[in-house]
Chain A
Amino acid sequence: MSDKRFTASKPSGHIIISGPDGFLNEADTLQCVHCGGHWVLSPGSGKIRGFCGKCNGPVCGPKCSECVPMERQLEIVEGGGTWL
């Protein structure tokens, strides 16, 4: 029996954890528009998330607060740079 509790209107991914007793957990994930990382929606966790008005999408935390879109970061690495 699924206990999917927290959903996103526009999820970027979905996780399913199953065990010997069937479905244990099911949740949507969101993707950071800057680093591309995913996280599970967890209201009340205390983790700081954000939203980028230029990219029009969620941001995973303070480390990605500066607007460097995912595509730009890929180009930087492909040009010999490092991940921001």
Chain B
Amino acid sequence: MARRYGVIGQGDVGTDKTVLGLVSAATIRPKIYDIVVGCTATPADGASQFQLKRFTAAGTSTAANIVAIDPGDPATLASAGQNHSSEPTYTSNTEMAAFSVNQRNTFRWVAAPGGEIVLPATASNGVGLKTASSNGTTANHEATFFFEE
């Protein structure tokens, strides 16, 4: 059975703002099977359009701590970034999912077995959860990825 990990990231929403990015490595293919998104600020009646999209360069971000779900597992080979100061280089037409969420709501997506989002075994490549647009205040949001590798 593949090793499973969880990672939490935060970031402000806005136009083309990444909340959390998962970066692959040359020897593994991480597979995201669970995503949870919610607002950490005092929620206003505003909504954000989220996109899960592939990138080829990870940008500049604060490292997000990846935790093994089984404490006996080794450290992950993948890495993750949050609160980006420089956005990843996204590839056009690679939206893996898109959804709009009001700040008052919590969104969760879970893959059925075999429906995971697969990242290529290529360094610096990955998948980021970003807001394509946002109305209302630019509230801080938090995202959680569960993935296996």
Contact = CB atoms under 8 A, between A and B. Distances in A.
Interface stretch (B7-15, B60-68, B79-87, B105-113): B105-113
A13 B110 contact: yes
A70 interface: yes
Interface in B5-50: 29
Grouping DSSP codes into helix (H, G, I), strand (E, B) and loop, the B interface class, with mixed when no group exceeds half, is: strand
A59 interface: no
Given A74-B29, A74-B118, A83-B91, A29 B102 contact: no
Contacts of B93: 63, 83
User: What 10 A-B pairs have minimum CB-CB distances, sorted nearest first?
Assistant: A12-B115, A19-B105, A77-B120, A38-B97, A37-B96, A13-B111, A16-B108, A15-B109, A13-B115, A74-B120
24 contacts: A11-B112, A12-B115, A13-B109, A13-B110, A15-B107, A15-B108, A15-B109, A16-B110, A17-B105, A17-B107, A17-B108, A19-B102, A31-B115, A35-B94, A36-B96, A36-B118, A37-B97, A39-B97, A74-B120, A77-B122, A78-B120, A78-B122, A83-B54, A83-B94
